[in-house]
Amino acid sequence: MKKFFALALSLVMALSLVACGQKEETPAETPEETPAETPAETSDIEVAVVLKTLASEYWGYVKAGCDAAAADLGITVTVVGPGAESDIEGQVAMIEQQIGAGCDAIVCAPNDAGAAAGALQAALDAGIPVLSVDTNVGIEGQTSFVGTSNVDAAYEGAKWAIEQVGSDAKAVIIYGQEGDNTSNMRREGYQKACDEAGVEVLSALSGQNTTDGATKTMEDLLNAYPDQIKMVFCHNDDTAIGAMNACKNAGVTDMTIVGFDGNASAVDLILAGEMVKATVAQQPYEMGYQVVEAAVKAINGETVEEVINAPVEVVTAENGQAYLDNLEAMKG
């Protein structure tokens, strides 16, 4: 703009001199240098995040981390998810919708890695960075995975419970959605700890990732193994609460239940002395924040680590209140 006005001013002056009949030419003013173009505004960046669901406390924390990163970085982040983790087709449709809307990067926590990968291939074909959070899609060309080693985390949870109850106690595992990679890894970690300690795992059944589903599964397990089960290792905290409800309905009081996710609702039960004795706490807020940060780096052509590990903590009655206080601080 400054250059335009300088040139216009020079032209007006030259015409004025001609009109006045002056023979000597007056040098035109040197126009000001045009400032270098500024990079595109950060606010132009749009990141899409497709989670397993938004209908749970855990995924709400992931969303909160994504939203906080959006605010801090000055970008637009759209976070969506189906009504339940079992809705694989619904999640695939959301992935396709977000890619079609023209996002600059897409993040996914897949309910089914194979189905999600098929939908995300369109993003990779279009040169759009693809990242995974919590559960790895594992698609070739993926930029980064931000999450927890589910095998190691579940191992620590089961190890803690065995130390409290004893290796002569028998256990059951209530895993998540059939075929889900995260569920498989957590089940593996629980089984590994039991095998090392010589704990007999009576059975492992799916609880469908829901409280109601886990309640029904635990009822079946109690009927199949009356007075034998002492420990229950669960896929998530919703599952742990379902197992607890089934025990209460059956009049069972002596049970050590381990959840997974570190939801405040589960920690409240732990502190209240309920049968849910521990939860393996991931850092969902931090995962959400970190994956959005990584997505922005990828969009800007910066180097991003292929795996960004998030720490875990076994939350019990001893450290539960400190954990809740920290959780509230992170939520702001």
**pLDDT tens profile 103-161:** 999 999 999 999 999 999 999 999 999 999 999 999 999 999 999 899 999 999 999 99
When pLDDT is cut at 50, 70 and 90, the band that residue 11 belongs to is: very low
Count of domains in the chain?
2
Q: What value does the mean pLDDT take over residues 77-89?
A: 96
Q: CA-CA distance, 234 to 246, in Å (whole number)?
A: 13
In a domain, 20, yes or no: no
Global pTM value? 0.69
> What pLDDT score does 56 carry?
87
Q: Are residues 70 and 103 in the same domain?
A: yes
In a domain, 29, yes or no: no
Structure tokens at 158: 């089961």
Give the N- to C-terminal CA distance of the chain in Å, as an integer.
Answer: 44
Q: Are residues 274 and 305 in the same domain?
A: no
Q: Are residues 234 and 300 in the same domain?
A: no
Q: Quick check: 177 and 183 in contact, CB under 8 A?
A: yes
Q: Are residues 87 and 210 in the same domain?
A: no
Q: CA-CA distance, 247 to 35, in Å (whole number)?
A: 71
Q: Which residue has the higher pLDDT, 164 or 31?
A: 164
Per the prediction, the chain carries an average pLDDT of 88
Nearest to 256 by CA among 238, 229, 235, 236: 229
Q: Of 13-27, 173-187, 318-332, where does the model show the most confidence? A: 173-187
- Parent domain of 199: 150-281
Structure tokens at 4: 């335009």
In a domain, 75, yes or no: yes
| Residues shown for the chain | 332
Q: Are residues 160 and 233 in the same domain?
A: yes
Look up the CATH number of the domain holding residue 294. 3.40.50.2300
In a domain, 166, yes or no: yes
> What pLDDT score does 6 carry?
37
Indicate if the pLDDT at residue 37 is higher than 80.
no
In a domain, 89, yes or no: yes
Q: Are residues 138 and 204 in the same domain?
A: no
In a domain, 189, yes or no: yes
Indicate if the pLDDT at residue 76 is higher than 80.
yes
Indicate if the pLDDT at residue 7 is higher than 50.
no
